[in-house]
Structure 1
């Protein structure tokens, strides 16, 4: 086959057939072996689909890995901050923990009183 006839024949074929003719020019140029090339084209088509699936899977997994790495970095920063806080200020003793608990309960009581006062105002309706 000449270069011109090969180019003309390539224009008439599908993408898979072009790939096959480029990879296996001897088989593609024989007119009597077209039935032999059909299973090979099927294999090339399956390989193309499988490769495309692998590319999408790799992209998806790469994105998941990036998200997990970001979460791991954030978690390790939090743990590192807790450790440095404990090293700098030391552990809580019993008195400090009682003071913190008392402040929390006072805050909750004040919040409960405010909530009760506001809910009573809504129940009684508007005052004229």
Structure 2
């Protein structure tokens, strides 16, 4: 590290760092690499840091992340299909929520107000 700082002191003011140099990791960046705070270093082909799965999404786990998103959407569709199967019509569901006390179904009332 001492060599790094001594070399940095020899850089003329205004010259700066080369474009492919990352100051945080003190390494040259490969193409498409970015610094990930979640991983604590450079990550090749970084997409983003995902707080929901607790890791950075990169070229290694991108297919698994896309599968996770697909399955989450499938689960939401199945949930709403089950709700509609239990309740005969969406209109009756909204009317029942409108008749309920505010403290029980505050979110349903907000949906009704937004739809009106």
* Greater share of residues in helix: 1
Please say whether Structure 1 and Structure 2 have the same fold, judged by a TM-score greater than 0.5: no
Q: Structure 2 length normalisation: TM-score?
A: 0.34
Q: Structure 1 length normalisation: TM-score?
A: 0.31
Q: Which has the higher contact order (CA 8 A, sep 6+)?
A: 1
